[in-house]
Structures are given as structure tokens and as C-alpha cells.
Amino acid sequence: MIDPGHPFSVQYKDLIEAFEERIRDGVEQPDRARFTFKSSVLSYELPRTAYAILQVSGRMGANFTVFQAGSHYRFSNNRIIWIHPTEFPDEGTRLEVEYTYRERPAGLTDFNPGSVVGTLIRAVSREMKLIYEQMDQAYRRAFIDQATGVALDNVVALLGIERNPDIHAIGHVTFYRKKASTTSVLIEEKTRVTDESDRSFVTTEAGEIEPVRIEFDYQLDGLINVKNKIAELEGIWLRSGDPENDTPFDIKDTETDYPYGEDERTITLADDVRPTEELQIRYKPKSVTVAIKAEKVGPEGNVNAGTIVIMPTPPIGIDGVVNEEPTSEGKSAEPDDQLRERAKHALERSGNATINAIKYAVLDVDGVEGVEVVDFNSGENIPLGEVRVRFSGGDAEQVAKVVDLTRAAGVMARLEVINTVFILGTFYVIPDLTVPAAASQEFLTGITEALDALTIGQPLSVRRLNAMVFNIAGLADVAEAQLQFKKKDLENPDDFIVGPVSDPFLIESSELIRPDTSNLKVTLLGSLKAKRKEGENLQIDVWIEDATGNTIHFKNYAVNINVTLMAYLLDKPDLPPERIGLLKQELSFSDASIALLTIDPGSDEINFDSDKHAPTVQVLIKASAYPGLKTVEDVTVDFS
């Protein structure tokens, strides 16, 4: 690899020094002098005081020749003195001397910062520095390891490679009415809906809530599921039956608020009704479900179920909207490092028949996030002549086609779709005394990028995620990371498996950890809170609230505190209380929001004298290592 270095970059201080030198000593200017060479004259004086000799040239033996300093001539006392005994310019020919001289100095000498000249020099130097850096950056954009963004796109285009584009999130929303309509209610294509965070989506198809809808389906264990929410069921008949003359099948009586199930789409037949033929279901719908697409590309459009509930311009006759399932598939454009890696393996990929050729060919498929190709060398009991291609994202059929074109003849490639394990939950973070407004978001962004960087089968270290807080100004520590995982149940694809995240969090070789950005958040702790335990004189309940005043429920957290005891003197009650004890204790929260603090008057660290001190003792509680947590000052115990 060629290291481009920084050939055009110039230090700011060097520019300042160069300007100062030229103003102090004069600016260099080029000039030239011509002499007719005569062998009898070996010394030629220059018309100006030369600063440097650039070149001395002439004709020797009828050929143009550049003469060398120290060998043919020397420069002394502003003269060119010929020193070579035999090699001379041809007699009577022109000897040309190119040199530089300095103009008369300006006479300015105050270059200190703040002076007029010093300020002008630094201003011009700054602009020159910017120009040099732009030149250097333009130069470095030609190298694959240095180019970024559009410049990298142009570099890899030479190999016929394009960046995988960002993708819009997609999903479905249900428009609904409170009751059936006697006329058709239309939902136009490109109808706009949003969530409460103003993430916008548009419908990609038209929809219609019909006055009466007819669907055909089979019953399964006495249940029939229809497409839209039911306002009123007209009846169920055999598909071959006549609704005008035949009696409809009986349905089961329900006494719940949802006669058609919580989804309002499920019909339960009477216990003795189990027809095996296809059925005709006639009902009055009060909803329609249509496809949507996020207006902005990228993962920002991946939102949870039940969040898209706003219609900026409600269609006529519609009472509400909701997404009953999460939106998904929103992805950012391929990052520079991944595109760079693909480009470097372009030639290997074109050769086919290698593991890396398959890997990078699959990475070329739009939407593919990660790929792992393993064979018998991986230690997973994979037989010779077979490889496993594990991938996440992208179209499975397109991946299969690419793999088939890339694999070696006779090699069986088995495709395994990666099961994505989503990480969600809350990081409870302890603040410093001052917290920049963007600190929490900066920490959350770092966590998200770290999770996105994990590869297939790579475990998660929660400890490493927590340690990232130390790089964020204004954040002191992570009190506790309460994280959960969520992944599809491969045995029941419609269900999810949810559980706590351990440290380290190990996953299967066919799984990939990714952040659930909609459900991953950072919460700043605000203050310690305490009050005397009900019915107790010497026990205190202590809890921690977040910055908005909500009490935190910890799974397993301990914090060291300093407990200062202050008591009033009996004979001088108007004076401020004096300190009678300083205790160092550990507060432990074990699946609890409250920790118990007990004060023992008989402790060696407490100097309470009942004859000297009032029995009501003020307790100050402070987290010794975290001054950002506010101190408790308004709780007392009773030593009587």
C-alpha cells in the first residue's frame, strides 16, 4: 500500500516564521544575468547582490550544459569564479546565471502577537494553512485508505464497486373508525402519518374501508381470522352456500368487551361448528391496513409497535391510526470502512472459489449487514466440500443467487439466515457536577456504534460498554446497565424470546447482536433521597432519583456513602449543631428501589452524649465518590 503522508501540509508556525523572515530580511526575487564567456576572464560579477545561485548554464562543445557548483565554478563575493582547469564554456558563447536576490527589507520589526504586523501575518498564515490543508486533503482523497464519503465512492468506482445505499424503513399501519360506515372510506396513497417524535411515514398503497367485506378462509380449531377489524358480523356460510337463503353458522357467545378478540379480527365458532370446507365470511369492517414507508432513509424509521398514532391531515371518515407491528428494514448507507474493505477484496472476489470471495460477494448485496462464511477448518464439524454462509439483512433469494455464482464447482453452500439479537434497556449514569446538554446523547451514540460494530457470533461485554462513559465529559460512571435481549423464537417465528443480558453476554454462532435504538436509552441520576423509616428511630430509607424525580429500581447496585451526624447542644440550642460522628457505609440495592441505613449510637465513630446533646440528630448523607449526586440534608434520627 502507498502511504500518501501529508506532502502538501505545512505547519502553521512555519508559515508565520516564513512571513516574518521575508518582512525582516526582504522578499526573495528571481533574476538572471548573461555574460559573454572569455577564457581569459575567470570571474563574473552579478549585477545584484545574490541570495542563492539557482543554475549556471551555457554551451560546451556545442552542447547545452548545466555547470555544477564546486566542480566547474564557485560563488564568492557576489561573483561566479571559474575553477575547472579544462572544462569551459565555448569561447564567445553566452554564459547564463539564474539566481535570487532579496528586496530591500520593509523595516518592520514588531512581529509580536497583538501588534498590527503580527496580527496581519497570523491572519494571512491561517488562510494559507487552510489552503495547504485543502490541497493535502484533495491529494489524499485519491488513496483508498484515506478517502471518505463521496471521494471514497469515486475511488472504488474504478473497481466497478458502488456503496450499498441507505434503505427506508417499511411496515404497516391500520386506519380505523369507531363504527362501521355505510359508504366506502378511502385512504389515498402517500397519506402522511407520524409518531410523537415527528418521524414521518407515508402510505405506499391506497386503502378502503368497505361498507361490507367478504373474505374466504378455513376455520382452525374453531377460530377464523379476518383481515380487518370487525364492526358487525353479518354471518358465516360455506363458500358454496347462499347467504340469502341459508342459515349462517353459529358463533360462540362471549361476555367480554372484545367479542372478536383483543385484535377485533378473531371469530370464534360455536363448539359444535367445525366445517372442513372453505368458508365465506361477511362482515362490516371498521379498519384497513396499508403499507407504509419512512420518509427519511436510515434506521431512524425503525419504531416500535403502537407509536405511529398521529395523522397530520386525517382522511375523511377516519378516527385514528396505529402501527400494530414495529417498522423495520431501515438501514444507514454502507459505512466507509465496510466499503473500503469490500473494495480491497474486489480482485479476490472476482477470482471466485474462496471463502473471502463468497463473503465479499454477499456483502455486495443491498441490505446485507453482516456475513460469515465457515468451512471444516472452523471446528464446527462441517464436512469437507461444504461451507456455511451465515448472513443478516438483504434478500435471501438474491444472496442465494450470488453464492451460487461465486462458490467453487462441487462445493455445497448452505445458507443460514442470522437471527438478530436486539439489545434494549437503560443505562443509569451518574453525572459530574456539570453536565453538557449533549453528554447523554454522545454516550448513547457511542454505545449504539459499539453494538453495530459487533460481528456474527461475537459476544457482548457490558463492562466495555459501561467503560465508554469515562470518555464523555460531564459523566462520572454507570451505576447500572439494566439491559434485556429480544430475538425471534426460531421454533415459533411469530414469537420472541426475551431475557436479561448477562456480562459477558454469549450468543450462538448464527446470531448477531444489534441495538434496539427505539428502546435503548441513557438516564441520568439526580440525587440521593432519604427519610426516617416508619416507626423506627434509628433506621433510614434511602433511595436514588433520576434527574426528573423518578425513583430508580436497581437490580444489583452498591454505592459508598459518607454519613455525617450533627447534634445541637442542650445548653446552647441557638448555636449551629456540632458534628458528633462521621460514618462510611455501603448502601446496597438488591432488586429494590430502597436501601436501609441503620445508625448505631454505640458505634466508636459516634460521640453522642445524652447529657450534652439534644436527642434529635441531623443526618447528612453524601455519595463520597460522586459529587454530582445531591446530598441528603433534611433527615433526622432520634437517639433518645
Query: What does the DSSP assignment read for 180-225?
Result: --SS-EEE-TT-EEEETT--EEEESS-EEE-SSEEEEE--BTTEEE
Q: CA angle, 535 as apex, 529 and 536 as ends, to 5°?
A: 70
CB atoms near residue 544 (< 10 Å): 25
Per-residue pLDDT band at 510 (split at 50, 70, 90)? confident
Q: What is the mean pLDDT of residues 280-286?
A: 94
**C-alpha to C-alpha distances, 152 to 75, 157, 362, 414, 449, nearest whole angstrom:** 51, 8, 20, 33, 21
User: Could you give the CA distance from residue 369 to residue 456 in angstroms, rounded to a whole number?
Assistant: 10
Cα distance between residue 167 and residue 294, in whole Å: 9
Backbone angles phi, psi at 59, to 5 degrees: -110, 130
Lowest mean pLDDT among 142-151, 463-472, 510-519: 142-151
As a residue count, the chain comes to 640
Query: Is pLDDT above 80 for 463?
Result: yes
What does the pLDDT average to over 237-256?
85
Please report the beta strands in 394-510, taking only residues with DSSP state E, as ranges in sequence order: 412-417, 419-431, 475-489, 492-500
Measured distance CA(623)–CA(620) in Å, rounded: 10
Give tens-digit pLDDT for 107-155: 888 888 888 888 998 999 899 988 888 887 777 677 777 788 888 888 8
> Is 50 exceeded by the pLDDT of residue 1?
no
Q: Residue 372: pLDDT band by 50, 70, 90 thresholds? A: confident
> How far is it, in rounded angstroms, from Cα 347 to Cα 362?
15
3-state secondary structure of 347: helix
C-alpha grid cell for residue 637? 434520627
pTM for the structure as a whole: 0.51
Q: Is the pLDDT of residue 7 over 70?
A: no
Task: Provide mean pLDDT across the span 332-352.
Answer: 74
The CATH code of domain 345-417 reads 3.30.300
Name the E strands within 229-363: 230-238, 266-268, 279-285, 287-297, 308-310, 320-322
**How much is the average pLDDT of 394-412?**
80
Strand partners, 202: 192, 293
Model confidence at 461: pLDDT above 60: yes
CA–CA dist 517, 355 (Å, integer):
32
Cis amide leading into 504 (omega within 30): yes
313 vs 640, more confident: 313
Sheet arrangement for strand 28-36: 28-36, 94-102, 50-60, 63-67
Q: What is the pLDDT of residue 399?
A: 86
C-alpha cell at 347: 480482485
Residue 555 above 90 pLDDT?
yes
